[in-house]
Amino acid sequence: MRASLKAWWGAWLGVLVLVTGLTGEWLIHASALPLTALGQQSLVLATAEGHWLHVRVSEDRYRLAPQGRISQTYIDLLLAYEDRRFWTHGGVDAVAIVRAATNNLAHGGIVSGASTLSMQVSRLLRPHARTLAGKASQALGALWLERHFSKQDILNAYFTLAPFGANVEGIEMASRYWFNKAPRDLSHAESALLVALPQSPARHRPDTHPVQARAARDRVLRKGFESGLLSYQAYQDAILSPLPSQPHRFAQGNHHLADRAQMAGHSGRVTTTIQSALQDQVSQLSQRWWLPERENLSVLVVGRDGALLAHAGSTGYFDSQRKGAIDFSQRFRSPGSTLKPLIYAMAETAGVLRYEEVYVDAPHDFGGYSPVNFDRSNKGAQTFGKALAQSHNRAAVEALDRLSPAAFMARVRQAGIDVEGETNLSAAVGGIGVSLQSVAGLYIAFLNGGEARRVTWVARDQAAPGQSIIDEPSAARTNFHLRQAALPANVPRRGVLNNFGLKTGTGPRGSDTLAIAYTDHFVVAVWVGSPDNDPRPHSTGLASAAPLALEVLGLLPESAAPYSVATGPPIPRHDSGRPSIHLAFPADGTELAFPPGERRITPVIVGATYPVTVVLNDRYVQTLDKPGDAVEFPSAGFWALAYTDAESSQLAGKVRVWSTHD
């Protein structure tokens, strides 16, 4: 009977243990914590060097997960003060519970707690009332965390969610808010304050409660000293360290990029391609640049790989009169004449046009479209190269007509560029809509031997492949002609920037003015205009946008050499399928001395098919009908000669002409 009774009680005890265990497992399973808060992080834009550019709140909080190494002193002090058995307990520390209960009974009240870091994370993920039931829920949540996540994951969750005063959460935000430094750079005293703050974020704020904050910080430091984490000297130095008197404001630069990041669904830290120093200079220059009322501007600096290095979407983000909240670099606006170089280069690539070819600028009807030049004059006989350098309209329309608007648009869209408007000849003079950023991406083709790129500003997107839209010789020859473009008044071509390309553009009624300036490494794109497309009748790209573009060009690193793809005359193009011609006399670099009143030479061109067209300094056109015909130089000086024979083979060279009387 006794044996059967023991067996009965044993069975019931086993059932009780099983039921208790199953109930515990069910309670832990039922205590699954919501993890959405870990994903609700503030948007933080960082420059390519890692400096914070702009910070935005998320759910009314500044919160960010750890982004790198955290000071080991901070981690050691945190564990020593808050949870010294963190790495060994299972979420609830029984030893700490007994110790806390004993201390509280001995003092007749609550003087110490037993919450582990796992329990604190549980409470941060699922806040609860400070009741016995709430504490039980917190403990069950901690056990659930330990079952599903590693210790490091739980520690990282604390680093993300811990409150540090105001609406600042997480060590990444707190270290910058209170000390303007990354968590890896925290000192002993700074680490101790950030250990103490989450215990009572409102009462331990150093800016509003410095006495309480110092006492709380020093308790953490004393614990670190007693635990052997700090030497006596380090402890003494730390307690003598001052507290921060006020927090640091989070970076609020470049609202427009932050807007774009938010619209694209980015959150957390987003590393951009922006270069800190250059961005600061461009921002300051844009803010102080004088503009009439109700006008605005936009500035981009882009690298040859398509990376956006500096950006000002407008001046005065909060200026409603100027509509400063609009990023004008993204808006479809008239590009004016800025697409002309691309049209010429594409036409050259397609073999339907040569820069040395003479074009007669006179009224002409292109199937019902009769363009006029900006100054409404007729230029007469001129080369296409000169027409590009002086931005004549009729010649550009002629080039587009030969290429065909459809072919031009196809190439542009092939490069990933969005265009707004009809596909017709007016595209040559700004009759379509395209963004300033897209124009900058197209001009990269002149830096990369014909390969355009979409402009990217997020670092991880930077490797986007380019798209060849023109061939390399056409890119180089176009560069040569853009180096001859007119400059704003009182702006000489000298110094490190003596080899830059420049193209300006003016939209209808002057509402849009643009300037694109570039070297071998950078493209600077500037828009100045009316946000509401109001007329600006006396505004031109040369007068309104070019001065700003050249100011920005002057900010670029002097170590970046001027572009070298076309520092001399246009690169000769040779047709395949026939022997190339060569110039026997005068050789490139020849100095020619003439008696007074005589400046004629007879070029010797081996293999040429006559007649041969000779263009001097891209201005004077002469024709050699047969071998032995002479070229006459208008004056002494340096002369660039470009030769094109009847089979379109081309040569180029430079000579110096001087008089023996000089």
CATH of the domain at 55: 1.10.3810.10
How far is Cα 52 from Cα 228, in angstroms, rounded to an integer?
36
Burial class of residue 271, CB neighbours in 10 A (0-12, 13-18, 19+): middle
Q: What is the pLDDT of residue 621?
A: 80
177 plus 59 within the same structural domain: yes
497 plus 640 within the same structural domain: no
Q: What is the pLDDT of residue 574?
A: 42
The pTM of the full predicted model, rounded to 2 decimals, is 0.78
pLDDT tens digits along 573-591: 444 444 467 777 787 777 7
Q: What is the pLDDT of residue 656?
A: 82
Q: What is the pLDDT of residue 583?
A: 79
The SS3 assignment for 236 reads helix
Q: Is position 310 within any domain? A: no
The values of phi and psi at residue 298, to 5°, are: -150, 140
Q: What is the pLDDT of residue 91?
A: 85
46 plus 173 within the same structural domain: yes
| Structural domain ending residue among the three candidates 239, 261, 287 | 239
* Closest to 268 (Cα-Cα) out of 460, 33, 34: 460
How far is Cα 14 from Cα 64, in angstroms, rounded to an integer?
48
pLDDT tens digits along 177-231: 999 999 999 999 999 999 999 999 999 999 999 999 999 999 999 999 999 999 9
Q: What is the pLDDT of residue 111?
A: 42
Burial class of residue 352, CB neighbours in 10 A (0-12, 13-18, 19+): middle
Buried b / exposed e along 550-567 (16+ C-beta atoms within 10 A): bbbbebbeeeeebbebbe
Q: What is the pLDDT of residue 118?
A: 92
121 plus 134 within the same structural domain: yes
Q: Which residue has the tokens 């707690």?
A: 113
CATH of the domain at 451: 3.40.710.10
Q: Is position 514 within any domain? A: yes
Q: Which residues contact 549 (CB under 8 A, 6 or more apart)?
A: 299, 502, 515, 516, 517, 524, 525, 526
Q: Is position 274 within any domain? A: no
Judge if the upstream peptide bond of residue 634 is cis by omega within 30 degrees of 0: no
How far is Cα 194 from Cα 81, in angstroms, rounded to an integer?
12
Judge if the upstream peptide bond of residue 611 is cis by omega within 30 degrees of 0: yes
Positions of the chain with pLDDT lower than 50, given as ranges: 14-19, 21-23, 26, 29, 101, 107, 109-112, 494-497, 559-579, 662
Instruction: Sort residue 495 into left (φ over 0), alpha (ψ -120 to 50) or beta.
Output: left
Report the number of distinct structural domains present in the chain: 4
Q: Which residue has the tokens 């071509």?
A: 493
CATH of the domain at 594: 2.60.40.10
Q: Is position 191 within any domain? A: yes
Q: Is position 325 within any domain? A: no
25 plus 48 within the same structural domain: no
Q: What is the pLDDT of residue 567?
A: 37
Q: Kindly report the CA angle at 261 between 256 and 263, in degrees rounded to 5?
A: 95
Q: Is position 356 within any domain? A: yes
How far is Cα 338 from Cα 440, in angstroms, rounded to an integer?
10
Q: Is position 297 within any domain? A: no
Q: What is the pLDDT of residue 100?
A: 52
229 plus 180 within the same structural domain: yes
**Alpha-helical runs (H) found in 361-471:** 384-389, 393-403, 405-414, 436-443
18 plus 135 within the same structural domain: no
The SS3 assignment for 496 reads helix
pLDDT tens digits along 607-639: 788 888 888 887 788 888 888 788 888 888 888
Q: Are 440 and 415 in contact (CB under 8 A)?
A: no
Domain limits at 12?
1-30
530 plus 422 within the same structural domain: yes
602 plus 538 within the same structural domain: no
526 plus 643 within the same structural domain: no
Residue 495: other Cβ atoms inside 10 A: 9
623 plus 508 within the same structural domain: no
Q: Is position 326 within any domain? A: no
148 plus 227 within the same structural domain: yes
Q: What is the pLDDT of residue 639?
A: 84
